[in-house]
């Protein structure tokens, strides 16, 4: 007997994964912060704040996924796809300020190290490894989506940092070197800051309407000019709408001997090439013939 329900949409699967990840992360944040206060470990408190920001990241990513599914309207004619990009950039900015505060506190405590319950640190670190790897496994199928990628990378580094916490707890227990806790705090800040660079770069690139990855405008122009009916192309623009979504507009100049009846067929073939070879699905192509007044200002021309 066939089910009446169709396959679940990828966006719905992603949002469901984000809900599970948020719940698991929030539980661990409460546990780790309490352990950090009880043990006196700045590294645990640091990591709990780090995980709290990750929980916020996950929650905002869920919100971004929900908002981006809203249909286009008269105010947002392209829809709400860039909500994901805005969330990714906002998360990165928030995290920079949090890391700066943690780094400052760690430097202050180097002058006055505090005793630490190393066994609590070890146990919490091991629990953190399990929880963060759990979140990573939940998010892995959706990790290529921009609004999820930041949270995925954060939790991947969180798993490594939790392992370091456990190892550091063992070292402190055996040697009494409390400075290890502070050094680890600074190391965690630097490691996470490095992972934020690609998120900043990709988000700003899209918001500045940069060309989509893998789309060279010169190559696009050359490919359009390879059509025998085309003598020139101008006002060629391509930009990323969101992660994995791009648009292109251009004016194509057609040889005057080509009848107007063939314009629609030419546009269809151009769109197919732009979609299949360059991954640009949303295209607006205006056709002009060589005897049009605008055609004299072409930027790219054929040289037969």
User: Tell me, what's the pLDDT at 302?
Assistant: 54
Please, where in the chain does CATH 1.20.1510.10 lie?
10-207
**pLDDT score for 1:** 42
Q: Name the most confidently modeled range: 31-35, 195-199, 264-268.
A: 264-268
Q: What pLDDT is stored for residue 270 in this prediction?
A: 92
69 compared with 204, residue with greater pLDDT: 204
* Third-level CATH fold of 217-301: Alpha-Beta Plaits (3.30.70)
Domain with CATH 3.30.70.1350 in the chain: 217-301
CA distance 128 to 38: 16
Burial per residue of 135-145, b for 16 or more beta-carbon CB atoms within 10 angstroms, e otherwise: bbebbeebbeb
For the stretch 164-186, pLDDT in tens is: 788 888 888 888 887 777 777 77
* Nearest residue to 188 via CA among 153, 166, 162: 162
Q: Greater confidence, 182 or 31?
A: 31
Residue 84: strand, helix, or coil: helix
Q: What is the mean pLDDT of residues 250-258?
A: 89
pLDDT of residue 186: 78
Query: Apex CA 240: angle with CA 98 and CA 272, to 5°?
Result: 155
CATH architecture label of 10-207: Up-down Bundle (1.20)
Say which residues have a Cβ less than 8 Å from residue 287's Cβ, sequence separation at least 6.
251, 252, 254, 263, 266, 267
């Amino acid at each position: 007997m066939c089910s009446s329900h169709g396959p679940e949409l990828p966006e719905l699967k992603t949002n469901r994964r984000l809900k599970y990840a948020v719940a698991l992360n929030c539980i661990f944040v409460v546990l780790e912060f309490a352990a950090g206060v009880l043990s006196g470990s700045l590294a645990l408190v640091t990591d709990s704040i780090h995980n709290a920001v990750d929980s916020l990241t996950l929650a905002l990513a869920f919100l971004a996924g929900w908002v981006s599914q809203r249909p286009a309207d008269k105010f947002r004619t392209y829809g709400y796809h860039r909500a994901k990009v805005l969330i990714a950039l906002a998360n990165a900015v928030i995290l920079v300020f949090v890391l700066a505060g943690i780094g400052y506190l760690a430097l202050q405590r180097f002058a006055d190290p505090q005793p630490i319950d190393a066994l609590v640190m070890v146990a919490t670190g091991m629990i953190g490894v399990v929880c963060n790897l759990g979140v990573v496994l939940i998010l892995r199928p959706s990790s290529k989506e921009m609004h999820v990628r930041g949270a995925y990378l954060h939790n991947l580094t969180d798993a490594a940092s939790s392992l370091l916490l456990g190892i550091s707890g063992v070292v402190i227990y055996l040697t009494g070197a409390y400075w290890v806790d502070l050094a680890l705090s600074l190391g965690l800040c630097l490691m996470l800051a490095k992972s934020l660079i690609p998120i900043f770069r990709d988000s700003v690139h899209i918001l500045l309407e940069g060309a989509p990855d893998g789309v060279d405008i010169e190559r696009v122009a050359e490919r359009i000019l390879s059509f025998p009916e085309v003598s020139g192309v101008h006002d060629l623009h391509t930009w990323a709408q969101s992660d994995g979504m791009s648009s292109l507009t251009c004016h194509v100049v057609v040889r005057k001997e080509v009848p107007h009846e063939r314009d629609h067929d030419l546009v269809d073939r151009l769109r197919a090439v732009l979609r299949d070879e360059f991954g640009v699905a949303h295209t607006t192509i205006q056709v002009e013939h060589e005897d049009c007044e605008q055609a004299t200002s072409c930027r790219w021309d054929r040289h037969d």
